Amino acid sequence: MLESLSNSLQSALNRLRGKGRLTEADVQEAMREIRLALLAADVNVKVVRDFVNRVRERAVGQDLQKSLTPGQQVVKIVYEELTELMGGAQARIQMASKPPTVVMLVGLQGAGKTTAIAKLGLAFRQHQHRPLLVAADVYRPAAIDQLKVLGKQIDIPVFDQGADANPVDIAKASLAEAERAGADIVLIDTAGRLHIDDQLMEELEGMKAAVQPTEILLVVDAMTGQDAVHVAETFHQRLGVTGVILTKLDGDARGGAALTVRAVTGCPIKYVGLGEKIEPLEPFHPDRLASRILGMGDVLSLIERAQERIDLEKAKEMEARMRTSSFTLNDFQEMFRQVRNLGPLDQVLKMIPGMNRMKGLENIDLNDRRFLRMDAIISSMTPAEREDPSVMNASRRRRIANGSGTTVREVNQLLNQFEQTREMMKRFTGMGKRMSRRGAMSALK
Ligand code: GDP
């Protein structure tokens, strides 16, 4: 999905990611590449310009956040701006205060309207609604039959009055049918044409006036890029569209429609179509698509947590001590306190792309109680003991176990883990940063 945009944006940003310092030239070059990537994805020129300007402004004037490198911060800014461009928060379907909720689906022929109706029906049924599908596309040959076949397939009732009836009458009659059948949401498949014309618009306006829909959802084909955006503009001007369903995002759509429709028309994308198979339509989450485009898994939440919860100053001090091999139990305690701050560790690991596919992850027992016990053991030691664990004889170990509410066995375990970690650090001096993480892992196994 949106692969080529995704690849080119990622390559623009990857070059920044590792850098501890960004020069003006680095930022310029990245902005140039981002601009080209967006233009190649068929994003509206003005939208591209505004987007790049906003990112540049924020990247240059950014507050230095201690736990992110400048490169990571640019990635975060691009992610936030992409999300914002696509509408920010998820836009939901409004429900009528008094049922039935009436939804008109409009759009050009071939956009995927009929398919989307069936999928939307499934999505609502999944949420315990009782949908009624209405076949009011009397012009496209076989559109009515197509909807009836789909309805049968997914076991959702379809209302029709044949191809000779007037679409506005069909729509009106469907409301009475919904009441009779106890349906709480009416999804109307309207006529589409190959091109927008006045007659089509007038008919849709007539239907809108007659049934007073809660939502008018415009179905547009993502593969048509900027054309989809023009179509959306026109429909919106005439009908007051309340949301967009963007279909065929599974194919090799370049992304222009997904990234531009909201900015140009002001209409939020509410659902996306990801295939021909009739499955519940997917609600659209701008943040998730942005994250996917940037190839980040859910690493963003992780970056954010790190930003909020890891004290970079302390981590740096610790790293410096590791390098000089003066790593004490105090540091050991600090290290796993920081890791614990990130949240349940198995959850943290799963946010890293690729990690969720790693075997054995579920077997690492990293429950917080264990952390707390380790913490308690170290807290029960005297400062001298923490600095130099070699003084730890049997009676001291007993005292610590009693003081921390643990057992001598656990105290021994912790001291062994500490020794192993320290050994490893000595061996890898100079690679402190990486090893601090590995040390934490092995200490917890
Ligand atoms: P309508 O004329 O707007 O009612 O369009 P249809 O619902 O008949 O869809 C037109 C074609 O697009 C059909 O072949 C559908 O199977 C296909 N289609 C619809 N939605 C999607 C989608 O999300 N992804 C893909 N790949 N194909 C789709």
Confidence at residue 201, expressed as pLDDT on a 0 to 100 scale = 92
Q: Which ligand 1 atom sits closest to the C-alpha of 146? A: 8
Domain 101-284 listed as CATH 3.40.50.300: yes
- Which of 276, 277, 279, 282 best tests ligand 1's pocket when mutated (most atoms within 8 Å of CB)? 276
- Per-residue confidence band for 59, with pLDDT thresholds at 50, 70 and 90: confident
More confident residue, 30 or 251: 30
Ligand 1: residue whose CA is nearest its atom 5: 112
Each residue of 177-233: pLDDT tens digit? Answer: 999 999 999 999 998 887 778 888 999 999 999 999 999 999 999 998 888 899 999
Architecture of domain 310-444: Orthogonal Bundle (1.10)
Q: In what order do the strands lie in the sheet with 243-247?
A: 158-159, 131-135, 185-189, 101-106, 215-221, 243-247, 269-272, 282-283
For residue 309, how far is its CA from the centre of ligand 1 (angstroms)? 46
| Max CA pair span of the chain | 96
Please work out whether the CB of residue 276 comes within 6 Å of at least one atom of ligand 1: yes
Residue 118 has pLDDT above 50, yes or no: yes
Per-state percent for the chain, helix, strand, coil, to nearest 5: 60, 10, 30
More confident residue, 407 or 441: 407
Q: Answer whether 284's CB lies under 8 Å from 269's CB.
A: yes
CATH superfamily, domain 3-85, is SRP54, nucleotide-binding domain (1.20.120.140)
Confidence at residue 391, expressed as pLDDT on a 0 to 100 scale = 92
Confidence at residue 442, expressed as pLDDT on a 0 to 100 scale = 41
Rounded Cα gap, residues 365 and 319, in angstroms:
26
Please work out whether the CB of residue 1 comes within 6 Å of at least one atom of ligand 1: no
Dig out the tokens for 367 from the structure.
């429950």
- Per-residue confidence band for 308, with pLDDT thresholds at 50, 70 and 90: low
Cα-Cα-Cα-Cα torsion 240, 241, 242, 248, nearest 10 degrees, comes to -170
Rounded Cα gap, residues 390 and 381, in angstroms:
13
Please work out whether the CB of residue 295 comes within 6 Å of at least one atom of ligand 1: no
Q: Which ligand 1 atom sits closest to the C-alpha of 189? A: 4
Rounded Cα gap, residues 394 and 401, in angstroms:
11
**What one-character-per-residue DSSP string does 50-93 give?**
HHHHHHHHHHHS----TTS-HHHHHHHHHHHHHHHHTTSSPPPP
CA end-to-end span of the chain: 38
Q: List the domain boundaries for the chain.
A: 3-85, 101-284, 310-444
Each residue of 16-27: pLDDT tens digit? Answer: 876 777 788 888
Annotated binding site for GTP: 107-114, 189-193, 247-250
Each residue of 93-104: pLDDT tens digit? Answer: 999 999 999 999
Residue 432 has pLDDT above 50, yes or no: no
For residue 286, how far is its CA from the centre of ligand 1 (angstroms)? 22
Q: Which ligand 1 atom sits closest to the C-alpha of 109? A: 2
